[in-house]
Amino acid sequence: MKRRRLKKILLAFLALFVLIQFIPVNRSVPDFDATHDFLTSMHAPPAIAKSIQSSCYDCHSYTTRYPWYGYVAPVSWFLNKHIHEGREHLNFSTLSSQKKKRVLHAMEEAHEEVLEGGMPLRGYTLMHKDARLSQAEREEMAEWFEKTYISLGGDPNELEEEGEHEEHEH
Ligand code: HEC
C-alpha cells in the first residue's frame, strides 16, 4: 500500500517535470550591433577583454552562452532571471551607447564588485571554472575598470574612497 503511494507521488513529480519543460523561457535578445561592444570600443587589452568575457558576459551582455542545464526547467527559470537582472544592471553589449553618467556609474560599480569579490556571482563560478578569478586577475580587471572610469572623465576621488573603505575592512 505504502509503496504504491510512493510510486504515485513519483509519477506525479515526473509528469510535472515533463510538463514544466513546455513553459516557454525567453532566451531571445533584441537586435544589437556587435561592433559597438564596450570592450571593443574602449580598446581593452586582449587579456583583460578575455577575462571579462569569460567571467561576466554570460550575465552582462547579449552574447550569453547557455549551458545544457540552462534548457532544463526549473533551473532555466532561475538562470534566466539572473541573466535578465544582470543585463539590467550592466550590459557590455549596449553600454557604449548609454549616457556617460550611466557608463561612469557602471565602471565604478564594476571596480568595486570585482575588488570586493561580489562578482562574478559565487554560484556561477561553481559551475564555470573559466570564470573564476585569481586575486591578481581581480586586481588587473579592477584596475582596467578604474582606468576606463578616469579616461571617461570620472572623478578618481570617488574610487579612492572605496579603496580606503577596503583597507578599514582588512
Ligand atoms: C551568473 C550571472 C552573473 C555573472 C557571471 C556576473 N554577474 Fe554581475 N550581476 C548579476 C546580477 C543578477 C546582478 C544584479 C543583482 C545583484 O547586484 O546581485 C549583477 C549586478 C552587477 C553590477 C551592479 C551592482 C550594483 O550594485 O549596481 C555590476 C557592476 C556587476 N554585476 C558586475 C559584474 C562583473 C564585472 C562581472 C564579471 C567579473 C559580473 N558582474 C559577473 C549577475 C552576474
pTM (2 d.p.): 0.90
Mean pLDDT, rounded, for 109-119? 95
Per-residue confidence (pLDDT) for residue 161, from 0 to 100 = 54
Question: Within 6 Å (CB) of ligand 1, which residues are found?
Answer: 55-56, 58-60, 82, 85-86, 89-90, 106, 109-110, 113-114, 119-121, 124
**What is the per-residue pLDDT across 102-113, written as a single tens digit (0 to 9) for each?**
999 999 999 999
Alpha carbons 20 and 117: distance in angstroms, whole number: 35
Atom of ligand 1 nearest to the CA of 106: 29
pLDDT at 96 over 80: yes
In this predicted structure, what is the pLDDT of residue 158? 84
Summarize pLDDT for 31-56 with one digit per residue, the tens. 999 999 999 999 999 999 999 999 99
Question: What's the mean pLDDT in 77-93?
Answer: 96
Report how far residue 90's alpha carbon sits from residue 21's, in angstroms, rounded to the nearest whole number: 29
Please provide the distance, in angstroms rounded to a whole number, between the alpha carbons at the two ends of the chain: 61
Phi, psi dihedral angles at 139 (to 5 degrees): -65, -40
Q: How far apart are CA 96 and CA 42, in angstroms?
A: 8
Residue 61 has pLDDT above 70, yes or no: yes
Would the pLDDT of 115 be above 50? yes
Which residue of 84, 89, 130, 137 sits with most ligand 1 atoms within 8 Å of its CB, as the best mutation to test the pocket?
89
Helix (H) or strand (E) holding 148: helix 135-151
* Residue 141 pLDDT exceeds 80: yes
For the cut 60, the answer to whether the pLDDT of residue 91 exceeds it is yes
